[in-house]
Chain A
Amino acid sequence: MKRVEYPAPLKQLVAQLKRMPGIGPRSAERIALWMVSARNARPGEIAAAIASMSETVRPCPQCGFFTTEPLCEICADEARESELLCVVEEATDILPLERTGAFRGRYHALGGRISPLDHVGPDDLRIDALVERVRKEHPTEVILALGSDVEGEATANYLAGLLREFPVKLTRIAQGLPAGGGLEHADELTLSRALSGRVKV
């Protein structure tokens, strides 16, 4: 006897959901079934939101943050101090730093960090773009807000070597970010302290 399965479109939806971070086969099935059967699910609205997002949201060509405009809100804001440039690993590190309120400059997201063990080298990151920005925007201080793990430190050292030839003060945010690196998990107080206690490289 042939085994009964869910109809193909439902199976396809489960397969797509499973690709998302943090969603395993069981959650994927639960979400898909909810979309099919819950009265208030409104899957059309979800689909429309996804379509609109993927059509309009892009990385800001200048800093890497998310935007629907030619430049992101931060880069476009004339009131921002262009003397301060804060370098982060990922675009997702920007909002936690913003929320501290301790920083009024601009950002530059590298899109990762140098990690030979993951086959990520300087050419895979937005490092040339950073050097270009320093050349053109003449910031007085570049703050390296990278992870406190080995790869974060190495990336900071690499950038320090590259930027040394420019008349710019190079600083690093103070230690105290969670070991294992990445800003995502640090709380606001820790971040704010790390920002105000930055040290010269």
Chain B
Amino acid sequence: MLTTFKLRDFRCFAALETEFASGTNVIVGPNAQGKTSLLEAACVLLRLQSPRSGSLAPLVRIDAAGFVVDGFYSGNHLQFYFSPRRKKLALDSVEQRTAAEYLKIGRVVWFSNGDIALVRGAAEERRRYLDFVAAQLDPGYRRNLRNYETALRSRNRLLKMPHPRWREIAAFDEPLLDSGMALTQARRVLIAALEPHAMESQLAIGGAVGETLGLQYQPGCGEDFAANLEASRKEDLRLRQTRVGPHRDELILKLNGLGSELASEGQQRTLALALRLAQTRLIAAQTGTLPLLLLDDIFGELDPARRNALLAHLPKGAQQIITTTHLDWAQTEIERVFRLENRTLTGIR
């Protein structure tokens, strides 16, 4: 549970300090006050990454050198300083050389009003979803992902040179294959583990009785990454980019056996929520602890039935921080309500 929470020079905030309650916390405020940024900061505190930005540099307040997020989660003191030139993290006031111990402290599920992109958007959206879950369940995943991205970008940079040299390009094949095969395996296992949770969640929050939801993994490296990489050399050289590998992975969503692009908008919204709930349940099942639930402005576009179904199916006892522009939807118990205006957060009940 996140209790004391402070930030400095994060997005639009010069400084802010607050105390969250267990259970449901709601932050109410007009647009552009920094509600999303506040949730983002909580996510960065626990996971050292942002759900909406690949790099952390844009999170530094304009004109500031770096940001600080600082808070207590389940009694552990987490502190993270970031500037584009330097990063520093401390767990219980002890500076950490690696993020391994730090990242064991808390986990996060991020629900956002843009989540329908998980269903309608490009494959990249679903890969990012998988990465965000996997990194929280498998401590080695982040390193594999980072290594894969480095190897891939290096290889592509070499392919784009005026006179590509194969010996140099091939030198990156081994790290590409090693990290790529580890990613493929991890995503395959993750998708299989998510599927039953997604299925149950879909039914729970408004899927019709008898409706089936399938999650299928389509690996971008084919059956045999090494063989396919070898076979695509000529094409890679012609198109000047690496054409096989997990950067081409797809997570296929099937509703009643049909591609989710054919589903109605309502079904798609339910599906996106089901994917987030599945993530929540899987993290709870695999780690034995409930993740912090960050719900960013999602109630405006949900009809009351879905809204209540969702609230009813969030795991009991999970701490939630919910942002919203209006409180009129709220029927459930709320422990604490804050108002965010003029960059200050005030507890109003």
Q: Give A contacts to B, CB under 8 Å.
A: 114-117, 121-122, 149-151, 153-155, 157-158, 161-162, 179
- Cβ B150 vs Cβ A150 within 8 A: yes
* Residue from A154, A157, A161, A162 within 8 A of B154 (CB atoms): A154
Closest to A185 in B: B97
State how many angstroms separate the Cβ of A175 from the closest Cβ of chain B: 12
Assembly CA distance A23 to B147 (angstroms): 30
Does the CB pair B147–A157 fall under 8 Å? no
Given A151-B150, A179-B143, decide whether A121 and B168 contact each other with a Cβ distance below 8 A.
Answer: yes
Interchain nearest-CB distance for A112 vs B (Å):
14
Given A116-B157, A121-B168; 14 other pairs, CB 8 A cutoff: A114-B168, A114-B171, A116-B153, A116-B155, A116-B158, A117-B150, A117-B157, A150-B179, A151-B154, A155-B171, A157-B170, A157-B172, A157-B174, A158-B171
Q: Kindly identify, within residues 144 to 164 of chain B, every residue whose CB is under 8 Å from any CB belonging to chain A.
A: 147, 150-151, 153-155, 157-158
Bound form: Cα–Cα A114–B169 in Å: 11
CA distance A112 to B273 in the complex (A): 48
Which A residues are in CB contact (< 8 Å) with B157?
116-117
Q: Closest residue to B166 on the A side, CB-wise?
A: A161
Partner of B172, one of A121, A149, A150, A161: A150
B222 adjacent to chain A (CB < 8 Å):
no
Q: Which 6 A-B pairs have the closest CB atoms?
A: A158-B171, A116-B157, A157-B171, A154-B171, A150-B150, A116-B154
User: Are A150 and B168 in contact, with the CB atoms below 8 A?
Assistant: no
Beta-carbon nearest neighbor of B172 in chain A: A154
Chain A CB count within 10 A is highest, among B143, B170, B171, for B171
Determine whether the beta carbon of A158 is less than 8 Å from that of B174.
no
Give the residue among A117, A121, A153 with the most B Cβ atoms within 10 A.
A153
Q: Mark B113-157, 1 if CB is under 8 A from A, else 0.
A: 000000000000000000000000000000100010011011101
B175: Cβ under 8 A from any A Cβ: yes
Of B153, B172, B179, chain A has the most CB atoms within 10 Å of the CB of: B172
A179: nearest chain-B partner, CB-CB: B143
Whether, in the assembled complex, B167 has its beta carbon less than 8 Å from a beta carbon of chain A, the answer is: yes
Closest chain A residue, CB of each to CB of B159: A116
Closest-CB distance, B173 to chain A (whole angstroms):
8
Question: Which of B's residues lie within 8 Å of A, judged by CB?
Answer: 98, 143, 147, 150-151, 153-155, 157-158, 167-168, 170-175, 179
In whole angstroms, what is the CA distance A105 to B308 when docked?
72
A residues less than 8 Å from B150 (CB atoms): 117, 149-151
Residues of B within 8 A of A155 (CB): 171
Q: How far apart are A50's CB and chain B's nearest CB, in angstroms?
A: 26
A153 & B175 in contact (Cβ 8 Å cutoff): yes
| Cα-based distance from A155 to B155 in the complex (angstroms) | 13
Report the separation of the CA atoms of residues A121 and B174 in the bound assembly, to the nearest whole angstrom: 18
Provide the bound-state CA to CA distance between A116 and B170, in Å. Answer: 13
Report chain A residues within 8 Å CB of B158: 116
Knowing A116-B158, A121-B168 are in contact, say whether A154-B153 is a contact too (CB < 8 A). no
A118 to B119, CA, bound (A): 37
The winner among A122, A149, A154, A157 for most chain B CB atoms within 10 A is A154
Note all chain A residues with C-beta closer than 8 A to B170.
157, 161
Given A116-B157, A116-B158, A179-B143, are A150 and B171 neighbors across the interface (CB < 8 Å)? no
Tell me, in angstroms, the Cα distance from A198 to B179 when the chains sit together: 22
Q: Which B residues touch A153, using CB under 8 A?
A: 174-175
Contact between B143 and A150, CB atoms less than 8 A apart:
no
In the complex the two chains form, is A149's CB within 8 Å of B171's CB?
no
Quick check: A158 and B154 within 8 Å, CB to CB? no
Min CB gap A201→B, angstroms:
11
Task: List 8 contacting pairs A-B, 8 Å CB cutoff, sorted by A.
Answer: A114-B171, A116-B168, A117-B150, A150-B154, A157-B173, A158-B168, A161-B167, A161-B171
Cα of A153 to Cα of B175 in the assembled complex, Å: 7
**B143 contact set on A, CB distance < 8 A:** 179
With A115-B154, A149-B147 as known contacts, state yes or no: A154 contacts B167, CB within 8 Å.
no
What is the distance, in angstroms, from B87's C-beta to the closest C-beta of chain A?
A: 12
Contact call A150/B167, Cβ cutoff below 8 A: no
Question: With a CB–CB cut-off of 8 A, which chain A residues contact B175?
Answer: 150, 153-154
Task: Give CA–CA (A116, B168) in the complex, Å.
Answer: 10
Q: Do B168 and A117 touch (CB < 8 A)?
A: no
Closest Cβ of chain A to B162, distance in Å, is 12
Chain A: CB-nearest residue to B176: A150
Q: Report how far A149 CA is from B150 CA in the complex, Å.
A: 10
For A158, what are the chain B residues with a Cβ–Cβ distance below 8 Å? 167-168, 171
Q: A153 to B154: give the CA distance in the assembly, Å.
A: 12
With both beta carbons as reference points, the residue of chain A lying nearest to B178 in the complex is identified as A153
B154, closest chain A residue (CB): A116
